Amino acid sequence: MPEILIIPGSLRAASSARATARAIEARFRDRATFVTADVGLLPHYNADVTDDPAVAAFVEQVGAADGVLFVTPEYNYSIPGVLKNAIDWASRPAYASVFKGKPSFVITVSGGVTGGVRAQAHLKYVLNGMLARVHANKEVLVTQANDKVTDGVLTDDAVLGFIDTEFAPFIDSLS
């Protein structure tokens, strides 16, 4: 089975993005192995730091994964700093990092009606800058997530069905 690394853009325990990631993991666990990166352990990016164990573990996780699933909210019309920080750590050497050619799937989740569509575009632009292989699919946006997540569980059947349709070909592409 392919191994998929989930990189979340929110550290909140009650995060809607994390709830979305858990829903995907539950629906596809018979077709892929999922590991979630602990991006909250990473220090702020500093090129002088070359021996941080959390950074080394994260870079190793990205390198070892067959594919990466980003599930993130939008912060102030872009991607959260914690997510950008994680990406920056694993982005060197430029154009030859562990992200080069890495199959990647992007989902944005938002409390608002736009579903984080601006963050989605920004994240894909950043991934292009690392020569990652962003999966071609209809954009997966979870809008008004507060109404769709109950007690930490994403329950919206329409959203779950759409995710199934769009995410399954990504897993197929990793085999």
| Residues near 34 by beta carbon (within 8 Å), at least 6 away in sequence | 3, 4, 5, 6, 24, 25, 28, 69
- Binding of ligand FMN by 16 (CB under 6 A): yes
Q: With left for phi above 0 and alpha for psi between -120 and 50, is residue 34 left, alpha or beta?
A: beta
Nearest distance from C-beta of residue 10 to ligand FMN, angstroms: 3
Which residue in this structure is represented by tokens 């573990």? 57
Kindly determine how many residues on this chain lie close enough to bind ligand FMN according to the rule CB under 6 A: 17
Instruction: Name the residue nearer to ligand FMN (CB basis): 71 or 130.
Output: 71
Element (H, E) at 167: helix 157-174
Residue nearest to ligand FMN (CB): 73
Whole-number Å distance between alpha carbons of 47 and 28: 37
Question: Of 131-150, which residues contact ligand FMN (CB under 6 A)?
Answer: 145
151 makes contact with ligand FMN (CB under 6 A): no
Nearer to ligand FMN by C-beta: 50 or 76?
Answer: 76
- The C-alpha atoms of residue 16 and residue 144 are separated, in whole angstroms, by 10
- Among the residue ranges 15-23, 54-62, 128-136, 164-172, the one whose residues contact ligand FMN (CB under 6 A): 15-23
What residues from 95 to 114 belong to the interface with ligand FMN (CB under 6 A)? 109-112, 114
Determine the residue type at 38: D
CB of 145 vs ligand FMN, minimal distance in Å: 6
142 vs 60: CA distance, rounded Å: 29
Q: Which residues are near ligand FMN by CB under 6 A?
A: 10, 12, 15-17, 73-77, 109-112, 114, 116, 145
